[in-house]
Amino acid sequence: MFHSKKHVAHDFELNLTPIIDCFVTLICFLLLSTTYVNLVGLDAKVPISVPASSAKADNEPKFKLELVVKANAIELDASGAGPASGRKTISNVAGKPDFVGLHAALVKIKNERPKEFSLYFTSQVEMDYELLVRFMDTTRNLDAKDGVFAFTDERNGHTVKVDTLFPDFVLANLAAQTAK
Amino acid sequence: MRAGILGKKARRGEQDFYLQITSLIDTLVIILVFMLMTIGSGSVNLEMASNIKLPWSTQGADLTQGLKLVARMDGVSLEQEAIVPMKDGVIAHNLTSEDGKKVTVLFQKMLTKAQESRKAADKTGVKFEGKVLVQADKAVPLKTIKQLLYTAARAGYNDFKFAVVRQ
C-alpha cells in the first residue's frame, strides 16, 4: 500500500448535533429544577441560664436592652449604655410601629456599646409572624449611613468592625418557661 | 476542523454553506457551568414547603442542617410529617398542655427525635446541637410561633433558625 509523505488537506465534518442535544437537554432540566427563591435563615434564641457565666457577669457593668411592643408604641429600655440608657417610648405612626424611629434609637445605643449584640424582645400584643421578622430585621441591620462601629478586642488588641446592630434576638417571653 | 454544520446544498448553485455554531456552543457551555455552580453553592438544600408564604427579609445567613418544622395556616408538620392540625394558624387548646404553652403531640415527636439524635451523636461523636429550621407562613400568629418554640425548647432544641426569603 502506498503511503504518501506529502501532507494532504482533508476536510472532515465533526458531528456536533448530539452534544448540542445534550447541552440543551441539560439546560432545560436545570432550568426546571432550579428554585430561584433565595432562602436564608434568621437566628432566634431563647434565654438559657448559664451559672458559670452569670458569676463573671456580676462583676462587669451590666448591659441589657429590652424591646417591648405595646398596643400604641414600642418601648425600648436600655441599661448600662451610658447616655443612651433609660426607657424610651416610640409611638406608632399611622397605627403601625415606627421602625425608622426604632432603628435610630438602636443606633444611638449601639454607638455607646458596640460590643453588645443581644436584644430581648417581648410583645404585649398579638402580631403575625411577618411583623416579628420585620422587628428582627430592624434590630439586626445596620445601614451604611449609620456610620462605622468598632471596638478593641481586649484579648489581642485588634480593632473589630461591627456591621450589625443587635443580631442576637432573644425571645424573652419564653424565659420563665425554658429556664430550668 | 470546521466548527460548522454542512447545510443543504443550494439546488441551483450547488454551493456548500456552513452554519457557524461555535458561539452557540460557547453560550451553552457558559450557561451550563453557571447553572451547575449555582446549584452546588447552597449549604443546605431546603425546599420551600408547599402552601406557605414565607416572610421577606433583607438579611440572613445561610441555612444549616436541623430539624425541619413547618407551620402552615392549617397545620404543623415535622420533617414532612403532619403532626398538629390548626385552624387559621391557631392550635386548639385541647392539643396543648402546661397552660396552653406546650403542644403535646409535637413535644412527644420532638423528644423522640432528640433522643434518636443524641444516640446517633454518641455513636458518631458528633455533638447534638439541637437546631430547628422553622418555616412558618407569614400570617401565623406570634402566639403559635411561641408555642412551637417553647415546645421545641422543652424537647431539647434551643437553636432556632427562621427560614425567610431574601429580598
Predicted local distance difference test score (pLDDT) of residue A174: 67
Question: Percent helix, strand, coil in chain A (nearest 5)?
Answer: 35, 30, 35
Predicted local distance difference test score (pLDDT) of residue A100: 92
Looking at the structure, do residues B95 and B149 belong to the same domain, yes or no?
yes
Give the DSSP H/E element, type plus range, for residue A152: strand A149-152
Considering CB atoms only, which of A31, A42, A174 is closest to B57?
A42
Query: What residue in B sits closest to A9 (Cα-Cα)?
Result: B1
Looking at the structure, do residues B11 and B83 belong to the same domain, yes or no?
no
CATH number of the structural domain spanning residue B124 = 3.30.420
- The strand pairing partners of B87, in sequence order, are B90
Domain presence at residue B69: yes
E strand segments, B65-149: 67-72, 75-78, 81-85, 96-97, 102-103, 131-136
Distance CA A120, CA A126 (A): 17
Predicted local distance difference test score (pLDDT) of residue B11: 54
Q: In the structure grid, which three cell numbers stand for residue B35, read together?
A: 447553572
- Which own/partner pairs from B102-105 qualify as long-range (CB within 8 Å, at least 24 positions apart)? B102/B147, B102/B150, B102/B151, B102/B154, B103/B76, B103/B147, B103/B148, B103/B151
Looking at the structure, do residues B32 and B62 belong to the same domain, yes or no?
no
Domain presence at residue B47: no
Predicted local distance difference test score (pLDDT) of residue B14: 60
Q: Say whether A39 and B137 touch across the interface (CB within 8 A).
A: no
Range of the domain at B114: 56-166
pLDDT, tens only, B47-94? 667 788 889 888 777 777 888 999 999 999 998 899 999 998 999 989
For chain B, percent of residues with pLDDT exceeding 70: 84
Distance CA B118, CA B70 (A): 22
Distance CA A53, CA A57 (A): 6
ipTM for the predicted complex: 0.74
Contacting A residues, span 110-149, partner chain B, CB-CB under 8 Å: 123, 126-134, 136-137, 140-141
Distance CA A76, CA B153 (A): 26
Domain presence at residue B151: yes
Looking at the structure, do residues B17 and B81 belong to the same domain, yes or no?
no
- The strand pairing partners of B103, in sequence order, are B96
- The count of structural domains within chain B is 2
Looking at the structure, do residues B102 and B28 belong to the same domain, yes or no?
no
Mean pLDDT over B90-118 rounds to: 90
Mean pLDDT over B149-158 rounds to: 90
User: For the purposes of burial, counting CB atoms within 10 Å of the CB of B104, is it exposed (0-12), middle (13-18) or buried (19 or more)?
Assistant: middle
Instruction: Give the pLDDT of chain A (180 residues) as one tens digit per residue.
Output: 445 555 666 777 778 888 888 888 888 888 887 766 677 888 887 766 555 444 445 555 688 899 999 999 999 998 887 888 889 999 999 989 999 999 999 999 988 888 888 899 999 998 999 999 999 989 988 888 888 888 888 778 888 888 888 988 888 876 444 433
Looking at the structure, do residues B26 and B65 belong to the same domain, yes or no?
no
Looking at the structure, do residues B122 and B83 belong to the same domain, yes or no?
yes
Residue B108 in this model has a pLDDT that exceeds 90: yes
pTM, two decimals, is 0.74
Looking at the structure, do residues B104 and B29 belong to the same domain, yes or no?
no
Q: Chain centroid to CA A150: how far?
A: 18
Q: Decide which of 1.10.3470, 3.30.420, 3.40.50, 1.10.260 is the CATH code for A51-178.
A: 3.30.420
Looking at the structure, do residues B72 and B138 belong to the same domain, yes or no?
yes
- Select the residue from B5, B101, B161, B164 to test the A interface by mutation, using most A Cβ atoms within 10 A: B164
HSE of A125, CA atoms in CB hemisphere, 13 A: 15
Domain presence at residue B143: yes
Looking at the structure, do residues B65 and B93 belong to the same domain, yes or no?
yes
Determine contact: B75 vs chain A, CB below 8 A: no
Mean pLDDT over B18-27 rounds to: 81
Looking at the structure, do residues B62 and B30 belong to the same domain, yes or no?
no
Domain presence at residue B148: yes
Predicted local distance difference test score (pLDDT) of residue A62: 82
Residue whose cell numbers read 410601629: A97
Domain presence at residue B130: yes
Looking at the structure, do residues B118 and B80 belong to the same domain, yes or no?
yes
Q: Can you say whether the dihedral through the CA atoms of B14, B15, B16, B21 is positive or negative?
A: negative
Mean pLDDT over B133-160 rounds to: 91
Count the Cβ atoms, other than its own, within 10 Å of residue A131.
18
Determine contact: A39 vs chain B, CB below 8 A: yes
Contacting B residues, span 99-138, partner chain A, CB-CB under 8 Å: 101, 133, 136-138
Q: Which residues contact A105 (CB under 8 A, 6 or more apart)?
A: A76, A88, A90
For chain B, percent of residues with pLDDT exceeding 90: 31
Predicted local distance difference test score (pLDDT) of residue A6: 56
**Rg (alpha carbons) of chain A, rounded to whole number:** 29
Count the Cβ atoms, other than its own, within 10 Å of residue B138.
19
- Whether the Cβ atoms of residue A85 and residue A79 lie closer than 8 Å to each other: yes
